[in-house]
Amino acid sequence: MISNKNNTDLMEKIVSLAKRRGFIFPSSEIYGGFGSGYDYGPLGVELKNNIKKEWWREMIQIHDNIVGLDSSILMNPKVWEASGHLTAGFADFLVECKKCHKRFKGDEIKDKCPECGGSLTSPKKFNLMMKTFAGPVEEESSLVYLRAETTQGIYVNFKNVLNSMRLKIPFGIAQIGKAFRNEINPKNFIYRTREFEQMEMEWFCHPKEAPRYFEFWKEERMKWYQNLGIKKENLRIKEIPKEDLPHYAKQGADLEYKFPFGWGELEAIHNRGDWDLSNHSKHSGQDLGYLDPDTGKKYYPYIVETSAGVDRSVLAFLSEAYSEVKGGRTQTTKSTKEIEILLSLHKRLAPIKVAVLPLVRNKKELTQKAKEIYQDLKRHLRCQYDEVGSIGRRYRRQDEIGTLFAVTVDFETLEKNDVTVRDRDTMKQVRVPIVELLDFIKQKLED
Ligand code: ATP
Q: Report residue 330's pLDDT band, with 50, 70 and 90 as the boundaries.
A: low
What pLDDT was estimated at residue 335? Answer: 61
Q: Report residue 3's pLDDT band, with 50, 70 and 90 as the boundaries.
A: very low
Q: Is the CB of residue 195 below 6 angstroms from any atom belonging to ligand 1?
A: no
Which residue has its alpha carbon closest to ligand 1 atom 28? 192
Lowest-confidence segment of 72-81, 319-328, 368-377 by average pLDDT: 319-328
Asked if residue 66 has pLDDT above 60, the reply is yes
Q: Count of residues for the chain? A: 447
Asked if residue 333 has pLDDT above 60, the reply is no
Asked if residue 356 has pLDDT above 70, the reply is yes
Lowest-confidence segment of 166-175, 200-209, 331-340 by average pLDDT: 331-340
Q: For 433-442, what is the mean pLDDT? A: 98
Asked if residue 334 has pLDDT above 70, the reply is no
Q: For 367-375, what is the mean pLDDT? A: 98
Q: Is the CB of residue 218 below 6 angstroms from any atom belonging to ligand 1?
A: no
Higher-pLDDT residue of 98, 216? 216
What pLDDT was estimated at residue 265? Answer: 98
What whole-number percentage of the chain has pLDDT above 90? 80
Which residue has its alpha carbon closest to ligand 1 atom 22? 309
Shortest-distance atom of ligand 1 to CA 198: 16
Nearest alpha carbon to residue 393 among 361, 368, 363: 361
Q: What is the CA radius of gyration of the chain?
A: 26
- Spacing, Cα 84 to ligand 1 middle (Å): 17
- Spacing, Cα 429 to ligand 1 middle (Å): 43
Q: For 148-169, what is the mean pLDDT? A: 96
Q: Is the CB of residue 193 below 6 angstroms from any atom belonging to ligand 1?
A: yes
Tell me the per-residue pLDDT of 119-156, one tens digit each, with 9 for 90 and over.
888 787 778 899 999 988 888 889 999 999 999 999 99
Out of 3.40.50.720, 3.40.50.1110, 3.30.930.10, 3.40.50.12780, which CATH number does the structure's domain 4-86+129-210+224-238+255-318 have? 3.30.930.10
Instruction: Decide if 46 contacts 382 (C-beta within 8 A).
Output: yes
Tell me the per-residue pLDDT of 275-307, one tens digit each, with 9 for 90 and over.
999 999 999 999 999 999 999 999 999 999 999
Which residue has its alpha carbon closest to ligand 1 atom 12? 268
SS3 for the chain, per residue?
Answer: CECHHHCCCHHHHHHHHHHHCCCEEECCHHHCCCCCCEEECHHHHHHHHHHHHHHHHHHHHHCCCEEEECCCCECCCHHHHHHCCCCCCCEEEEEEECCCCCEEECCCCCCECCCCCCEECCCEEEECCEEEECCCCCCHHHEEEECCCCHHHHHCCHHHHHHHHCCCCCEEEEEEEEEECCCCCCECCCCECCEEEEEEEEEEECHHHHHHHHHHHHHHHHHHHHHCCCCHHHEEEEECCHHHCCCCCCEEEEEEEEECCEEEEEEEEEECCCHHHHHHHHHHCCCCCEECCCCCCEECCEEEEEEEEHHHHHHHHHHHHEEEEECCCCCCCCCCCCEEEEECCCCCCCCCCEEEEECCCCCHHHHHHHHHHHHHHCCCCCEEECCCCCHHHHHHHHHHHCCCEEEEECHHHHHHCEEEEEECCCCCEEEEEHHHHHHHHHHHHHC
Instruction: Decide if 432 contacts 426 (C-beta within 8 A).
Output: no
Distance CA 358, CA 408 (A): 6
- Spacing, Cα 264 to ligand 1 middle (Å): 10
**CB neighbours (10 Å) of residue 368?**
13
Q: Is the CB of residue 181 below 6 angstroms from any atom belonging to ligand 1?
A: yes
What pLDDT was estimated at residue 116? Answer: 86
Instruction: Decide if 149 contacts 90 (C-beta within 8 A).
Output: no
> Which of 29-38, 117-126, 394-403 ranks highest by mean pLDDT?
394-403
What pLDDT was estimated at residue 100? Answer: 78
Which residue has its alpha carbon closest to ligand 1 atom 14? 307
Cα of 251 vs its chain's centroid, Å: 24
Which residue has its alpha carbon closest to ligand 1 atom 4? 192
Query: Cα-flanking dihedrals φ and ψ of residue 119, to 5°?
Result: -85, 160
- Spacing, Cα 270 to ligand 1 middle (Å): 13
- Spacing, Cα 186 to ligand 1 middle (Å): 11
Q: Is the CB of residue 265 below 6 angstroms from any atom belonging to ligand 1?
A: yes
Higher-pLDDT residue of 9, 357? 357
Which residue has its alpha carbon closest to ligand 1 atom 18? 267
Q: Is the CB of residue 196 below 6 angstroms from any atom belonging to ligand 1?
A: yes
What pLDDT was estimated at residue 400? Answer: 97
Nearest alpha carbon to residue 64 among 214, 197, 203, 200: 203
Instruction: Decide if 267 contacts 310 (C-beta within 8 A).
Output: no
Q: For 246-261, what is the mean pLDDT? A: 95
Asked if residue 4 has pLDDT above 50, the reply is no
What pLDDT was estimated at residue 106? Answer: 72
Q: Report residue 35's pLDDT band, with 50, 70 and 90 as the boundaries.
A: confident
What pLDDT was estimated at residue 7? Answer: 54
Out of 3.60.21.10, 2.40.50.660, 3.40.50.800, 2.120.10.70, which CATH number does the structure's domain 352-446 have? 3.40.50.800
Asked if residue 101 has pLDDT above 80, the reply is no
Tell me the per-residue pLDDT of 19-31, one tens digit each, with 9 for 90 and over.
999 999 999 999 9
